[in-house]
Structure 1
Amino acid sequence: MTDPSPQAELIMAFANTVDIEEQTDALADAPGLARWLTETGLTSSTPAVTAEDHQRSLRFRSGVRELLGTEDRQAHVLAEADSVLRELPLLVSATAAGSALQPAPELPTVSRAFGSLAAALAVLLITGENERIKRCPAEDCGWVFWDNSKNRSRRWCSMRVCGNRNKARSFAARNRRSPEADR
Protein backbone atom coordinates (compact mmCIF):
# COMPACT_ATOMS: atom_id res chain seq x y z
CA MET A 1 0.00 0.00 0.00
CA THR A 2 1.11 3.53 0.68
CA ASP A 3 4.27 4.40 2.58
CA PRO A 4 4.32 6.85 5.48
CA SER A 5 5.25 10.46 4.77
CA PRO A 6 8.27 12.05 6.48
CA GLN A 7 5.82 13.70 8.90
CA ALA A 8 4.31 10.30 9.78
CA GLU A 9 7.78 8.79 10.24
CA LEU A 10 8.71 11.64 12.59
CA ILE A 11 5.56 11.34 14.70
CA MET A 12 5.91 7.55 14.94
CA ALA A 13 9.56 7.93 15.98
CA PHE A 14 8.55 10.45 18.65
CA ALA A 15 5.74 8.22 19.96
CA ASN A 16 8.05 5.20 20.01
CA THR A 17 10.71 6.89 22.13
CA VAL A 18 9.12 4.86 24.91
CA ASP A 19 9.20 1.08 24.56
CA ILE A 20 6.84 -0.56 27.05
CA GLU A 21 7.95 -4.12 26.28
CA GLU A 22 11.67 -3.34 26.61
CA GLN A 23 11.02 -0.88 29.47
CA THR A 24 13.18 1.79 27.86
CA ASP A 25 12.57 5.49 27.35
CA ALA A 26 14.80 7.60 25.10
CA LEU A 27 13.29 10.70 26.74
CA ALA A 28 13.73 9.49 30.31
CA ASP A 29 15.72 12.59 31.22
CA ALA A 30 16.73 15.97 29.78
CA PRO A 31 20.01 14.69 28.23
CA GLY A 32 18.04 11.90 26.53
CA LEU A 33 15.65 14.45 25.04
CA ALA A 34 18.56 16.59 23.84
CA ARG A 35 20.18 13.53 22.26
CA TRP A 36 16.94 12.48 20.52
CA LEU A 37 16.29 15.99 19.16
CA THR A 38 19.81 16.07 17.70
CA GLU A 39 19.72 12.51 16.32
CA THR A 40 16.43 13.15 14.51
CA GLY A 41 17.70 16.41 13.02
CA LEU A 42 15.16 18.57 14.83
CA THR A 43 18.10 20.60 16.18
CA SER A 44 21.41 21.18 14.45
CA SER A 45 23.43 20.81 17.64
CA THR A 46 22.79 19.41 21.09
CA PRO A 47 20.43 21.89 22.77
CA ALA A 48 20.32 22.91 26.40
CA VAL A 49 17.17 21.19 27.64
CA THR A 50 15.57 22.47 30.83
CA ALA A 51 13.54 20.40 33.27
CA GLU A 52 10.46 22.27 32.00
CA ASP A 53 11.31 21.35 28.38
CA HIS A 54 11.66 17.73 29.45
CA GLN A 55 8.26 17.73 31.19
CA ARG A 56 6.64 19.39 28.16
CA SER A 57 8.09 16.69 25.88
CA LEU A 58 6.63 13.93 28.08
CA ARG A 59 3.18 15.59 28.13
CA PHE A 60 3.29 16.10 24.38
CA ARG A 61 4.40 12.51 23.72
CA SER A 62 1.69 11.11 26.01
CA GLY A 63 -0.91 13.11 24.10
CA VAL A 64 0.38 11.93 20.73
CA ARG A 65 0.35 8.31 21.92
CA GLU A 66 -3.17 8.78 23.28
CA LEU A 67 -4.32 10.32 19.99
CA LEU A 68 -2.96 7.33 18.09
CA GLY A 69 -4.45 4.77 20.47
CA THR A 70 -7.16 2.42 19.30
CA GLU A 71 -9.19 2.37 22.51
CA ASP A 72 -11.12 5.09 24.32
CA ARG A 73 -9.04 8.23 24.55
CA GLN A 74 -8.39 9.87 27.90
CA ALA A 75 -9.41 13.53 27.57
CA HIS A 76 -7.07 14.76 30.31
CA VAL A 77 -4.01 13.32 28.52
CA LEU A 78 -5.05 15.02 25.27
CA ALA A 79 -5.66 18.27 27.17
CA GLU A 80 -2.11 18.12 28.59
CA ALA A 81 -0.73 17.78 25.06
CA ASP A 82 -2.93 20.67 23.93
CA SER A 83 -1.43 22.84 26.66
CA VAL A 84 2.01 22.23 25.13
CA LEU A 85 0.73 22.83 21.59
CA ARG A 86 -0.80 26.18 22.55
CA GLU A 87 2.72 27.43 23.37
CA LEU A 88 4.02 26.63 19.89
CA PRO A 89 3.04 29.18 17.25
CA LEU A 90 3.13 27.79 13.72
CA LEU A 91 3.41 29.85 10.57
CA VAL A 92 2.28 29.11 7.05
CA SER A 93 4.85 30.10 4.47
CA ALA A 94 4.60 30.09 0.70
CA THR A 95 8.40 30.23 0.36
CA ALA A 96 9.48 27.69 3.00
CA ALA A 97 11.47 24.71 1.81
CA GLY A 98 9.83 21.43 2.79
CA SER A 99 6.56 21.84 4.64
CA ALA A 100 4.62 25.08 4.30
CA LEU A 101 3.75 24.80 8.00
CA GLN A 102 6.75 25.86 10.08
CA PRO A 103 7.46 26.70 13.72
CA ALA A 104 7.89 30.40 14.42
CA PRO A 105 11.57 31.27 13.86
CA GLU A 106 11.83 33.34 17.06
CA LEU A 107 11.14 30.32 19.27
CA PRO A 108 14.01 29.00 21.40
CA THR A 109 15.77 25.93 19.99
CA VAL A 110 13.88 23.25 21.94
CA SER A 111 10.51 24.93 21.41
CA ARG A 112 11.29 25.23 17.70
CA ALA A 113 11.98 21.48 17.64
CA PHE A 114 8.65 20.86 19.40
CA GLY A 115 7.08 23.20 16.84
CA SER A 116 8.41 20.97 14.05
CA LEU A 117 6.76 18.00 15.75
CA ALA A 118 3.54 20.00 16.12
CA ALA A 119 3.66 20.95 12.42
CA ALA A 120 4.15 17.30 11.45
CA LEU A 121 1.20 16.28 13.63
CA ALA A 122 -0.95 19.04 12.12
CA VAL A 123 -0.17 17.82 8.60
CA LEU A 124 -1.16 14.28 9.56
CA LEU A 125 -4.44 15.45 11.08
CA ILE A 126 -5.26 17.72 8.12
CA THR A 127 -4.48 15.09 5.48
CA GLY A 128 -6.06 12.22 7.41
CA GLU A 129 -2.80 10.28 7.30
CA ASN A 130 -3.08 9.87 11.08
CA GLU A 131 -5.74 7.21 10.37
CA ARG A 132 -2.95 4.89 9.24
CA ILE A 133 -0.86 5.39 12.37
CA LYS A 134 -2.01 3.19 15.22
CA ARG A 135 -0.88 2.15 18.66
CA CYS A 136 -0.86 -1.56 19.43
CA PRO A 137 -3.63 -2.26 21.97
CA ALA A 138 -1.60 -4.93 23.78
CA GLU A 139 -0.99 -3.63 27.32
CA ASP A 140 2.54 -5.01 27.31
CA CYS A 141 3.38 -3.43 23.94
CA GLY A 142 1.81 -0.11 22.88
CA TRP A 143 4.14 0.19 19.86
CA VAL A 144 3.05 2.81 17.32
CA PHE A 145 3.02 1.42 13.78
CA TRP A 146 2.00 2.21 10.21
CA ASP A 147 -1.16 0.40 9.05
CA ASN A 148 -0.55 -0.38 5.39
CA SER A 149 -3.63 -2.59 5.01
CA LYS A 150 -5.96 -1.62 2.18
CA ASN A 151 -8.95 -0.93 4.44
CA ARG A 152 -6.93 0.38 7.42
CA SER A 153 -8.12 -2.49 9.60
CA ARG A 154 -4.81 -3.68 11.03
CA ARG A 155 -5.02 -3.87 14.79
CA TRP A 156 -1.78 -5.35 16.06
CA CYS A 157 1.78 -4.14 15.53
CA SER A 158 2.57 -7.75 14.68
CA MET A 159 0.17 -10.65 14.27
CA ARG A 160 3.05 -13.05 14.96
CA VAL A 161 3.71 -11.52 18.38
CA CYS A 162 0.97 -9.34 19.89
CA GLY A 163 -1.90 -10.70 17.81
CA ASN A 164 -0.85 -14.28 18.52
CA ARG A 165 -0.50 -13.58 22.26
CA ASN A 166 -3.99 -12.12 22.34
CA LYS A 167 -5.46 -15.08 20.44
CA ALA A 168 -3.70 -17.51 22.79
CA ARG A 169 -5.02 -15.67 25.85
CA SER A 170 -8.55 -15.64 24.44
CA PHE A 171 -8.36 -19.34 23.61
CA ALA A 172 -7.08 -20.19 27.09
CA ALA A 173 -9.82 -18.11 28.72
CA ARG A 174 -12.54 -19.80 26.64
CA ASN A 175 -11.20 -23.28 27.34
CA ARG A 176 -10.32 -22.84 30.97
CA ARG A 177 -12.29 -25.38 32.97
CA SER A 178 -13.61 -24.41 36.33
CA PRO A 179 -12.99 -26.82 39.27
CA GLU A 180 -16.77 -27.25 39.62
CA ALA A 181 -17.01 -28.61 36.08
CA ASP A 182 -14.69 -31.51 37.00
CA ARG A 183 -16.91 -32.72 39.84
Structure 2
Amino acid sequence: MRDAPASAQLIEAFANTVDVELGTDELDSAGGLATWLAERGMLDRGHEVGPGDHALCLRLRAGVREELGVNVGDHADPALSAGADEALRELPVLVSVGRGPDGGALSPAPDLPPARRALAALAIAWCELTLTGEAARLKRCSEHTCAWVFWDASKNRSRRWCSMRVCGNRAKARRHSAKQAGATGAAAPAD
Protein backbone atom coordinates (compact mmCIF):
# COMPACT_ATOMS: atom_id res chain seq x y z
CA MET A 1 0.00 0.00 0.00
CA ARG A 2 1.72 3.14 -1.19
CA ASP A 3 1.75 5.95 1.35
CA ALA A 4 -0.93 4.32 3.47
CA PRO A 5 -0.71 5.18 7.16
CA ALA A 6 -0.11 2.35 9.62
CA SER A 7 -3.73 2.55 10.77
CA ALA A 8 -4.93 1.96 7.18
CA GLN A 9 -2.58 -0.98 6.76
CA LEU A 10 -3.89 -2.53 9.95
CA ILE A 11 -7.56 -2.04 9.06
CA GLU A 12 -6.98 -3.34 5.53
CA ALA A 13 -5.36 -6.49 6.92
CA PHE A 14 -8.18 -6.88 9.46
CA ALA A 15 -10.90 -6.49 6.83
CA ASN A 16 -9.13 -8.92 4.50
CA THR A 17 -9.06 -11.72 7.06
CA VAL A 18 -12.18 -12.91 5.25
CA ASP A 19 -11.66 -13.89 1.61
CA VAL A 20 -15.00 -13.93 -0.22
CA GLU A 21 -13.58 -15.41 -3.40
CA LEU A 22 -11.83 -18.33 -1.71
CA GLY A 23 -14.43 -18.71 1.02
CA THR A 24 -11.81 -18.60 3.78
CA ASP A 25 -11.71 -16.76 7.09
CA GLU A 26 -8.51 -16.36 9.12
CA LEU A 27 -10.65 -15.44 12.14
CA ASP A 28 -13.01 -18.42 11.95
CA SER A 29 -12.20 -19.36 15.55
CA ALA A 30 -10.95 -17.77 18.76
CA GLY A 31 -7.61 -19.51 18.12
CA GLY A 32 -7.42 -18.02 14.64
CA LEU A 33 -8.01 -14.57 16.09
CA ALA A 34 -5.32 -15.12 18.74
CA THR A 35 -2.85 -16.16 16.04
CA TRP A 36 -3.71 -13.18 13.81
CA LEU A 37 -3.32 -10.71 16.69
CA ALA A 38 -0.04 -12.32 17.82
CA GLU A 39 1.40 -12.20 14.29
CA ARG A 40 0.88 -8.44 14.35
CA GLY A 41 2.40 -7.96 17.80
CA MET A 42 -0.96 -6.97 19.25
CA LEU A 43 -1.27 -9.94 21.62
CA ASP A 44 1.43 -11.99 23.30
CA ARG A 45 1.49 -15.61 22.20
CA GLY A 46 -0.19 -17.84 24.73
CA HIS A 47 -2.86 -15.31 25.70
CA GLU A 48 -6.33 -16.76 25.41
CA VAL A 49 -9.03 -15.26 23.24
CA GLY A 50 -12.42 -16.21 24.57
CA PRO A 51 -15.62 -16.83 22.61
CA GLY A 52 -16.98 -13.43 23.67
CA ASP A 53 -13.86 -11.68 22.37
CA HIS A 54 -14.13 -13.63 19.13
CA ALA A 55 -17.81 -12.72 18.64
CA LEU A 56 -17.05 -9.07 19.40
CA CYS A 57 -14.25 -9.08 16.82
CA LEU A 58 -16.49 -10.56 14.13
CA ARG A 59 -19.16 -7.90 14.76
CA LEU A 60 -16.52 -5.19 14.50
CA ARG A 61 -15.08 -6.64 11.29
CA ALA A 62 -18.52 -7.02 9.68
CA GLY A 63 -19.33 -3.37 10.38
CA VAL A 64 -15.95 -2.13 9.11
CA ARG A 65 -16.23 -4.20 5.90
CA GLU A 66 -19.77 -2.91 5.40
CA GLU A 67 -18.65 0.72 5.77
CA LEU A 68 -15.76 0.16 3.35
CA GLY A 69 -18.14 -1.23 0.74
CA VAL A 70 -20.56 1.70 0.77
CA ASN A 71 -20.44 3.89 -2.32
CA VAL A 72 -21.15 7.62 -2.19
CA GLY A 73 -24.87 8.17 -1.77
CA ASP A 74 -25.48 4.62 -0.51
CA HIS A 75 -26.04 3.59 3.08
CA ALA A 76 -24.51 0.78 5.08
CA ASP A 77 -26.63 -2.08 6.37
CA PRO A 78 -27.92 -0.64 9.66
CA ALA A 79 -27.78 -4.01 11.43
CA LEU A 80 -24.08 -4.50 10.61
CA SER A 81 -23.25 -0.91 11.58
CA ALA A 82 -25.19 -1.24 14.84
CA GLY A 83 -23.40 -4.50 15.64
CA ALA A 84 -20.02 -2.85 15.11
CA ASP A 85 -21.06 0.14 17.22
CA GLU A 86 -22.12 -2.21 20.03
CA ALA A 87 -18.75 -3.92 19.79
CA LEU A 88 -16.95 -0.58 19.99
CA ARG A 89 -18.83 0.31 23.18
CA GLU A 90 -17.24 -2.78 24.76
CA LEU A 91 -13.75 -1.51 23.89
CA PRO A 92 -13.18 1.63 25.97
CA VAL A 93 -10.45 3.95 24.79
CA LEU A 94 -8.68 6.67 26.79
CA VAL A 95 -7.87 10.08 25.36
CA SER A 96 -4.65 11.75 26.54
CA VAL A 97 -3.64 15.37 26.19
CA GLY A 98 -0.13 14.24 25.33
CA ARG A 99 1.16 10.86 24.38
CA GLY A 100 -0.58 8.00 26.15
CA PRO A 101 1.06 4.78 27.34
CA ASP A 102 0.80 3.26 23.86
CA GLY A 103 2.47 6.26 22.21
CA GLY A 104 -0.59 8.09 20.90
CA ALA A 105 -3.30 10.41 22.15
CA LEU A 106 -5.68 7.44 22.13
CA SER A 107 -4.98 4.21 23.98
CA PRO A 108 -6.94 1.14 25.10
CA ALA A 109 -8.25 1.37 28.64
CA PRO A 110 -5.56 -0.17 30.88
CA ASP A 111 -8.01 -2.42 32.75
CA LEU A 112 -9.03 -4.29 29.59
CA PRO A 113 -7.88 -7.92 29.35
CA PRO A 114 -5.15 -8.51 26.72
CA ALA A 115 -7.47 -9.69 23.91
CA ARG A 116 -9.78 -6.71 24.41
CA ARG A 117 -6.79 -4.33 24.48
CA ALA A 118 -5.78 -5.70 21.07
CA LEU A 119 -9.31 -5.24 19.73
CA ALA A 120 -9.36 -1.71 21.19
CA ALA A 121 -6.20 -1.02 19.17
CA LEU A 122 -8.18 -1.94 16.04
CA ALA A 123 -10.91 0.45 17.16
CA ILE A 124 -8.31 3.20 17.58
CA ALA A 125 -6.94 2.56 14.08
CA TRP A 126 -10.47 2.82 12.64
CA CYS A 127 -11.07 6.01 14.63
CA GLU A 128 -7.86 7.59 13.32
CA LEU A 129 -8.87 6.81 9.74
CA THR A 130 -12.36 8.20 10.08
CA LEU A 131 -11.25 11.34 11.92
CA THR A 132 -8.60 12.16 9.31
CA GLY A 133 -10.89 11.29 6.39
CA GLU A 134 -8.44 8.61 5.23
CA ALA A 135 -11.08 5.89 5.68
CA ALA A 136 -12.46 7.06 2.33
CA ARG A 137 -9.28 5.78 0.68
CA LEU A 138 -9.86 2.26 1.99
CA LYS A 139 -12.43 0.61 -0.24
CA ARG A 140 -13.98 -2.78 -0.79
CA CYS A 141 -13.64 -4.05 -4.36
CA SER A 142 -16.81 -3.45 -6.39
CA GLU A 143 -16.51 -6.93 -7.92
CA HIS A 144 -19.08 -8.80 -5.81
CA THR A 145 -17.24 -12.12 -6.10
CA CYS A 146 -14.09 -10.51 -4.70
CA ALA A 147 -14.91 -7.81 -2.10
CA TRP A 148 -11.20 -7.48 -1.22
CA VAL A 149 -10.32 -4.29 0.68
CA PHE A 150 -7.63 -2.09 -0.86
CA TRP A 151 -5.99 1.32 -0.42
CA ASP A 152 -7.01 3.72 -3.20
CA ALA A 153 -3.81 5.56 -4.09
CA SER A 154 -5.32 7.23 -7.17
CA LYS A 155 -5.24 11.04 -7.25
CA ASN A 156 -8.98 11.48 -7.53
CA ARG A 157 -9.78 8.49 -5.27
CA SER A 158 -12.03 6.95 -7.90
CA ARG A 159 -10.62 3.43 -8.03
CA ARG A 160 -13.37 0.80 -7.84
CA TRP A 161 -11.55 -2.52 -8.08
CA CYS A 162 -8.69 -4.07 -6.16
CA SER A 163 -7.12 -4.97 -9.51
CA MET A 164 -8.04 -3.58 -12.90
CA ARG A 165 -6.43 -6.58 -14.60
CA VAL A 166 -8.62 -9.08 -12.78
CA CYS A 167 -11.73 -7.63 -11.15
CA GLY A 168 -12.03 -4.58 -13.39
CA ASN A 169 -11.76 -6.71 -16.51
CA ARG A 170 -14.36 -9.18 -15.18
CA ALA A 171 -16.87 -6.37 -14.64
CA LYS A 172 -16.16 -4.78 -18.01
CA ALA A 173 -16.42 -8.14 -19.80
CA ARG A 174 -19.81 -8.80 -18.17
CA ARG A 175 -21.07 -5.35 -19.18
CA HIS A 176 -19.85 -5.88 -22.74
CA SER A 177 -21.50 -9.33 -22.95
CA ALA A 178 -24.77 -7.95 -21.61
CA LYS A 179 -24.63 -5.08 -24.09
CA GLN A 180 -23.93 -7.48 -26.96
CA ALA A 181 -26.75 -9.80 -25.87
CA GLY A 182 -29.11 -6.82 -25.69
CA ALA A 183 -28.09 -5.65 -29.15
CA THR A 184 -28.50 -9.14 -30.60
CA GLY A 185 -31.92 -9.51 -28.97
CA ALA A 186 -33.04 -6.13 -30.32
CA ALA A 187 -31.86 -6.98 -33.85
CA ALA A 188 -33.55 -10.39 -33.97
CA PRO A 189 -36.51 -10.54 -36.38
CA ALA A 190 -39.97 -10.84 -34.89
CA ASP A 191 -41.85 -14.08 -35.54
- TM superposition score normalised by structure 1: 0.94
After superposition, give the CA deviation of every residue in 1:7-65 in whole Å (9 maximum; x if it has no partner). 11001110000011121110011110110010111112232111121111111100000
* Amino acid in structure 2 at the alignment position of 1:153: S
CA distance in 2, matches of 1:98, 1:39: 20
- Aligned residues: CA RMSD: 1.7
Deviating 4+ runs (over 6 angstroms)? none
Shift of 1:182: 5.4
* Amino acid in structure 2 at the alignment position of 1:12: E
Aligned partner of 2:99 in structure 1 is: 95
Aligned partner of 1:76 in structure 2 is: 79
Is the Cα–Cα contact under 8 Å of residues 2 and 153 in structure 2 kept in the other structure? yes
Shift of 1:68: 0.8
CA distance in 2, matches of 1:2, 1:140: 25
Q: Percent identity?
A: 53
Shift of 1:92: 1.6
Partner SS, residue 94 of structure 2:
strand
Is the Cα–Cα contact under 8 Å of residues 35 and 46 in structure 1 kept in the other structure? no
Is the Cα–Cα contact under 8 Å of residues 140 and 148 in structure 2 kept in the other structure? yes
* Amino acid in structure 2 at the alignment position of 1:164: N
Within-5 A mapping of 1:11-22: 11-22=11-22
Aligned residues: 183
Aligned partner of 1:181 in structure 2 is: 188
Is the Cα–Cα contact under 8 Å of residues 143 and 157 in structure 1 kept in the other structure? yes
Aligned partner of 1:62 in structure 2 is: 62
CA distance in 2, matches of 1:35, 1:21: 22
Is the Cα–Cα contact under 8 Å of residues 70 and 137 in structure 1 kept in the other structure? no
Is the Cα–Cα contact under 8 Å of residues 11 and 121 in structure 1 kept in the other structure? yes
Partner SS, residue 188 of structure 2:
helix
Partner SS, residue 178 of structure 1:
helix
Aligned partner of 1:34 in structure 2 is: 34
Aligned partner of 1:46 in structure 2 is: 46
* Amino acid in structure 2 at the alignment position of 1:89: P
Aligned partner of 1:6 in structure 2 is: 6
Shift of 1:98: 3.0
Unaligned runs of at least 5 residues, structure 1: none
Unaligned runs of at least 5 residues, structure 2: none
